[in-house]
Amino acid sequence: MLRLAIYFLLALASGVASFFITNSTVVNMTAGLSMGLAVPVFEQIAQNRENLRILWYSFRYRNQAVRVSTSYLFKIYIDGKYLLIRGSRWRNQFQPVGGVHKVSPQGSGVLSSMGVTDDHLIPVDEASYRDLRVRVPGKHLFQFFQWFDSRVGREDSPWREFQEELLASQILPQDKFPHIMHNYLRRDVDRIRWSDWAQAFEILAADIYELVPTPEQTQALKDLAAAQNPEVVWVTAEQIQRRGIVPGQPPSIEISAHSKRIL
């Protein structure tokens, strides 16, 4: 963002200067400099469009509290199908392994200084304590996401939910997964929207990871698929897109809307 501001100011200054300089050679030089700087300005805008969008939200919704929920999701893909697990709160729904980020005491202090408060839409219990599901003063949205991007004071590994949902539950054998390798794919930050459910403007963000299993872990996942455990399903991309519906067949499972993020 700082580089974008510098390029923009230099381009603007060069453009303005060309209107006040009478020497044609100098005019051509300043105009050329302005045009040359326009290229990195547009490049920086493209690279920082998400930050610029959040910066706009900070101004547009500065007098409102915005609900923000951040999570991480696992793409687990074997033999053309994706692993989804039964939801803990909505038991009739299947979704990717993952969950809401947790905040450390250090992070809680930073959030308190911004005036961020807990979101009580979902009851705070032992499982949801310190979840990064909060209400952020609109004027601090940009500051909040800068803190989130810094990864300081908040959960920065997808291991916890993987361990809780697949290993502690004995869905997968713990001895085959003493550790895991994963690739970070991307971050999805949804555009702000009004949520009737939350009765507030809302931004949802999710970090997407891809499991990179060892050969032994791959075999354990294949064994899980063959066992047909009722707590998990293996589905195609089309089934995820259709929320579990298979054309010509009666509905058998319901897939969460946010499962599309792992595709």
211 and 88, same structural domain? yes
Provide CB contacts within 8 A for 82, sequence distance 6+.
75, 76, 96, 234, 235, 236, 237, 240, 259, 262, 263
235 and 120, same structural domain? yes
CA distance 257 to 260: 6
242 and 214, same structural domain? yes
101 and 9, same structural domain? no
Alpha helices, DSSP H, located in 177-231: 215-227
For residue 57, tell me if it sits in a domain: no
- Amino acid 10: pLDDT: 42
Q: Other CB atoms closer than 10 Å to residue 47's CB: what's the count?
A: 13
For residue 55, tell me if it sits in a domain: no
91 and 137, same structural domain? yes
For residue 58, tell me if it sits in a domain: no
Q: In tens digits, what is the pLDDT along the chain, a chain of 263 residues?
A: 545 444 444 444 444 444 444 445 544 454 454 455 455 544 555 556 788 899 999 999 999 999 999 999 999 999 999 999 999 877 789 999 999 999 999 999 999 999 999 998 877 766 668 899 999 999 999 999 999 999 999 999 999 999 999 999 999 999 999 999 999 999 999 999 999 989 999 999 999 999 999 999 999 999 999 998 999 999 999 999 999 888 878 778 899 999 999 99
Total number of domains constituting the chain: 2
Could you list the residue range(s) of the whole structural domain that residue 158 is in? Answer: 63-262
For residue 159, tell me if it sits in a domain: yes
Cβ(193)–Cβ(202) under 8 Å? yes
For residue 203, tell me if it sits in a domain: yes
CA distance 210 to 181: 9
Question: What's the CATH code of the domain at 239?
Answer: 3.90.79
